[in-house]
A and B are shown apart, each in its own frame.
Chain A
């Protein structure tokens, strides 16, 4: 086992950019999706409007959307003949971030609406009764629901970092450019290099374990 780890540290230079790009793409897309998803989620949770139920049904469908479909959509948008082809973003980390943001957004939005609806309304009424401004009310809702929101972000991040179909399609799995942990595992498994694939798999698990530990500690502290 020790020799196995040693060997991989010798190959460290190859692995490190893959891990870092994975984190960069997944964290950035989770951040974008979280900001947009939470703000729109809180607004939707607080307001009643005609098409709310339809919106939630569509959101629930999008939450379980296969990543390859998102990959296909972004690919068509960014390909040379597509409407955004002139931007030249296909096979770049930016394209990967776009596709993962689209994938994570419905999860953050949907879970925010369903998880905080009741408490958000209660907090809103309390804030209004105490003379809080709209800004103060929004801050209070986010602060009071922070643990639920943190769990939702973690779920979103889990979806992003473990996703392979969309990033493979729009990133192209180009070495040292768009290769991330999941596409690396898929490639190495196909080549029969199970040691490398397993090592990256362990790194993925470790990242997930680390994030869940931080979340658990925060919840305990609350």
Chain B
């Protein structure tokens, strides 16, 4: 799916949160970097349709967002809510909403669950999980949907290093079969490891955008240079 963001403006009261002239997202892994309040999460929520723009357009293969496109997009929110159910019920909840049959649900579960070895957590209620465990369950819940576009807002922020590496493997796997994955992170090293393309944002604007080697290897923006210690 090709996502085109055109003249996108998002205001909250007097504050301009998002101000993007043009952005095109195709297949592959896109990593969005930027400081707090730079508009990364707002951009994701607008692309996912959870939030609306003040003005401008977001097109999906040239079309406006409709229910069939919504079905092809999923987002892992920055602070994901886990239902007061078991981890297993949480992981399969999206598949149940999409009315996927039980056999396929088991296939998807088996395909992704090994990334985190969470078998012993499956029967545990979500409110007994630690922060890292909750993050794993939430990432698995989004991943099993296998949508054409998957957006992940700081998916590894609460995970330990080992789990983060596993999550990165999973993210790479999600981008297979011509799918698009958009990841928001503050971890530049993670961006280097997983990204095909990097978008750098500040104060709602895209300051730099392009393939990973170009943006992270030879940044033009002063702030990004500072972050990368170049």
Q: Mark A residues whose CB is within 8 Å of B.
A: 119, 122-123, 125-133, 136, 140, 143-144, 222
Q: Residue on B with the closest CB to A130?
A: B94
Instruction: Give 11 CB contacts A-B under 8 Å.
Output: A122-B79, A125-B77, A125-B81, A126-B77, A126-B81, A126-B83, A129-B74, A130-B93, A131-B97, A132-B94, A140-B83
CB of B80 within 8 Å of the partner chain = yes
Mask: chain B, 79-115; 1 = CB below 8 Å from A; 0 = not: 1110110000000011001100000000000000000
Beyond the given pairs A125-B81, A129-B50, A131-B74, 18 more chain A to chain B contacts, judged by CB atoms under 8 angstroms and listed by A's residue number, are A122-B79, A122-B81, A123-B81, A123-B83, A125-B77, A126-B80, A126-B81, A127-B97, A128-B50, A129-B48, A130-B93, A130-B97, A130-B141, A131-B70, A131-B94, A131-B98, A131-B145, A144-B84
Report the separation of the CA atoms of residues A139 and B168 in the bound assembly, to the nearest whole angstrom. 34
- Name the interface size band of chain B: 20 to 34
Q: When A130-B145, A131-B94 are in contact, do A144 and B74 touch as well, CB less than 8 Å?
A: no
Chain B residue numbers with a CB within 8 Å of A143 are 83
CB of B76 within 8 Å of the partner chain = yes
Chain A residue numbers with a CB within 8 Å of B79 are 122
Report the separation of the CA atoms of residues A124 and B71 in the bound assembly, to the nearest whole angstrom. 16
Partner of B97, one of A123, A125, A133: A133
Report the separation of the CA atoms of residues A130 and B96 in the bound assembly, to the nearest whole angstrom. 9
A-B CB contacts (within 8 Å), total count? 45
Taking CB atoms and an 8 Å cut-off, the chain B residues in 53-93 that contact chain A are 70-71, 74-77, 79-81, 83-84, 93
Chain A residue numbers with a CB within 8 Å of B97 are 127, 130-133, 136
Q: Residue on A with the closest CB to B84?
A: A144
Cβ contact within 8 Å between A129 and B76: yes
Chain A residue numbers with a CB within 8 Å of B75 are 129
Report the separation of the CA atoms of residues A222 and B74 in the bound assembly, to the nearest whole angstrom. 30
Report the separation of the CA atoms of residues A133 and B99 in the bound assembly, to the nearest whole angstrom. 11
Taking CB atoms and an 8 Å cut-off, the chain B residues in 135-166 that contact chain A are 141-142, 145
Q: Residue on A with the closest CB to B48?
A: A129
Chain B residue numbers with a CB within 8 Å of A222 are 84
Partner of A125, one of B50, B74, B84, B141: B50
Cβ contact within 8 Å between A129 and B77: yes
Q: Residue on A with the closest CB to B138?
A: A126
Most buried by B among A125, A130, A133: A130
Q: When A122-B81, A136-B97, A144-B83 are in contact, do A130 and B50 touch as well, CB less than 8 Å?
A: no
Chain A residue numbers with a CB within 8 Å of B48 are 129
Taking CB atoms and an 8 Å cut-off, the chain B residues in 27-50 that contact chain A are 48-50
Q: Residue on B with the closest CB to A129?
A: B75
Shortest A143–chain B CB gap in Å is 8
Chain B residue numbers with a CB within 8 Å of A127 are 97
Report the separation of the CA atoms of residues A126 and B81 in the bound assembly, to the nearest whole angstrom. 6
Report the separation of the CA atoms of residues A140 and B93 in the bound assembly, to the nearest whole angstrom. 10
Shortest A135–chain B CB gap in Å is 10
Shortest A132–chain B CB gap in Å is 4
Chain A residue numbers with a CB within 8 Å of B70 are 131
Chain B residue numbers with a CB within 8 Å of A130 are 74, 93-94, 97, 141-142, 145
Q: Residue on B with the closest CB to A126?
A: B81
| Nearest 6 Cβ contacts at the A-B interface | A130-B94, A132-B97, A126-B81, A122-B81, A129-B75, A131-B97
Shortest A197–chain B CB gap in Å is 44
Chain A residue numbers with a CB within 8 Å of B80 are 126
Report the separation of the CA atoms of residues A130 and B138 in the bound assembly, to the nearest whole angstrom. 11
Report the separation of the CA atoms of residues A122 and B50 in the bound assembly, to the nearest whole angstrom. 11
Q: Residue on B with the closest CB to A136?
A: B97
Q: Residue on B with the closest CB to A147?
A: B84
Shortest B161–chain A CB gap in Å is 27
Shortest B70–chain A CB gap in Å is 7
Report the separation of the CA atoms of residues A194 and B50 in the bound assembly, to the nearest whole angstrom. 62
Most buried by A among B48, B84, B141: B84
Q: Residue on A with the closest CB to B97?
A: A132
Q: Residue on B with the closest CB to A123?
A: B81
Report the separation of the CA atoms of residues A123 and B79 in the bound assembly, to the nearest whole angstrom. 11
